[in-house]
């Protein structure tokens, strides 16, 4: 017997493995069917237990109430225009007019009697009207005072100017204002070009 096993040990080993595999397969199949039966039984129990349990309703959350909207105040167009319009400033009262004082022409003092105390003219009289500012009336007045020549006027100093000015009546101040002395110097030298360059055409 032992010799038979030792001679065919390979076949015995194969047969053993086949037997073990068959037994394992049978065990596995039977275990699976039992598990399926248990699953069906448990499923039935769960269904029965589910019939006894009353479902709990979900809490109802109320929807948020919208905030009240204040009604818009409608302002009439006329009122809106009246409130937005700028208030025009009241016109300023006109300033009282200052009363103009009547202009009183100052009457020059009457000339002293006689003639001014100046050097007398020497030579023929010149045309004093060539001096700018000396017109016909003033020319006559100067001649009557003894003033007739350019060189006579050109030599005047401050004392002579003040002396003659007292006799000029309404023409007082014209000697200095119209530069008679400077004009007379050009005309006394017969420097017409220099005169016209400074005082204009004769």
- Tell me the per-residue pLDDT of 84-143, one tens digit each, with 9 for 90 and over: 545 556 666 666 676 666 665 567 678 888 899 999 999 999 999 999 999 999 999 999
pLDDT of 184 > 70? The answer is yes
- Residue % of the chain over a pLDDT of 90: 44
Contact predicate 147/121, CB 8 Å: yes
Contact predicate 118/160, CB 8 Å: yes
Q: Per-residue confidence at 66, pLDDT binned at 50, 70, 90?
A: low
Q: How far apart are CA 28 and CA 111, in angstroms?
A: 166
| The CA-based dihedral angle spanning residues 175, 179, 184, 186, taken in that order and rounded to the nearest 10 degrees | 180
Q: What is the pLDDT of residue 157?
A: 96
The mean pLDDT value for 63-73 works out to 60
Mean of all residue pLDDT scores within the chain: 77
Q: Which of 11-25, 114-128, 188-202 has the lowest mean pLDDT?
A: 11-25
Q: Per-residue confidence at 49, pLDDT binned at 50, 70, 90?
A: very low
How many CA atoms lie less than 13 Å away from 46 in the CB half-sphere?
6
Q: What is the pLDDT of residue 45?
A: 41
Q: Per-residue confidence at 41, pLDDT binned at 50, 70, 90?
A: very low
Q: How far apart are CA 184 and CA 129, in angstroms?
A: 11
How many CA atoms lie less than 13 Å away from 122 in the CB half-sphere?
3
Q: What is the pLDDT of residue 8?
A: 73
């Amino acid at each position: 017997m032992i010799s038979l096993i030792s001679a065919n040990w390979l076949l015995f080993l194969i047969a053993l493995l086949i037997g073990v595999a068959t037994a394992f397969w049978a065990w596995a199949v039977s275990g699976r069917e039992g598990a399926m039966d248990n699953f069906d039984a448990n499923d039935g129990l769960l269904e029965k237990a589910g019939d006894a349990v009353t479902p709990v309703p979900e809490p109802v959350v109320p929807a948020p109430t919208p905030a009240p909207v204040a009604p818009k105040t409608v302002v009439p167009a006329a009122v809106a225009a009246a409130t937005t319009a700028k208030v025009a400033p009241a016109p300023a009262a006109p300033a009282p007019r200052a009363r103009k004082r009547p202009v009183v022409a100052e009457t020059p003092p009457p000339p002293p009697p006689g003639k001014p105390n100046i050097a007398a003219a020497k030579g023929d009289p010149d045309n004093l009207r060539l001096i700018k500012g000396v017109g016909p009336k003033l020319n006559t007045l100067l001649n009557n005072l003894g003033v007739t020549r350019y060189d006579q006027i050109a030599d005047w100093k401050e004392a002579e100017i003040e002396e003659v000015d007292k006799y000029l009546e309404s023409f007082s101040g014209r000697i200095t204002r119209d530069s008679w002395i400077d004009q007379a110097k050009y005309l006394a030298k017969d420097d017409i070009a220099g005169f016209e360059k400074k005082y204009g055409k004769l």
